[in-house]
Amino acid sequence: AQKITQTQPGMFVQEKEAVTLDCTYDTSDPSYGLFWYKQPSSGEMIFLIYQGSYDQQNATEGRYSLNFQKARKSANLVISASQLGDSAMYFCAMKTGANSKLTFGKGITLSVRP
C-alpha cells in the first residue's frame, strides 16, 4: 500500500524568506511520481511541481523546488522568497506504477507574515 505523511503543524514564515514543507512517502513500487499542490481558500487545487522516481535531478519550477531524497523516501517542497499569496494549504501526493490514482497527504497550512 502507498502512503504519504505530512506531519508538520501549521507553518509560519516571514515574507521573502524561504520555507521547507516536509513530505515522506512509502511504497514498494519502484516506479512512482510525487506531486505538490497548493490549495488556497478558494478551494482550487493548483499544481506546483512533479518529481518522477527515476528523475536524476531534483525538480524545480520557479520559486518552487523539490528536495528529493530517495533513500530516505522524502520529497520536501522548498519555497524561496515567500510571498503573501503563498499562504494556503499544501498537499503532497503520490501515484505509483500503472495505478493512476493519486494518494494525498493530510496537508500543511502555510501562513506568510508581512
List residues binding another protein (CB under 8 A).
33, 35, 37, 42-45, 47, 50, 91, 95, 100-107, 109
For another protein, which is the closer residue by CB, 35 or 76?
35
Q: How far is the CB of 4 from another protein (least distance, A)?
A: 9
Q: How far apart are CA 51 and CA 35, in angstroms?
A: 7
Q: How far is the CB of 66 from another protein (least distance, A)?
A: 13
For another protein, which is the closer residue by CB, 25 or 35?
35
For another protein, which is the closer residue by CB, 15 or 66?
66
State how far the alpha carbon of 30 is from the alpha carbons of 33, 53, 55, in Å: 10, 7, 12
Q: How far apart are CA 55 and CA 48, in angstroms?
A: 17
Q: How far is the CB of 100 from another protein (least distance, A)?
A: 6
Reported as half-sphere exposure (CB side, CA atoms, 13 A), residue 35 has a value of 17
Q: What's phi and psi for 80, nearest 5 deg? A: -95, 155
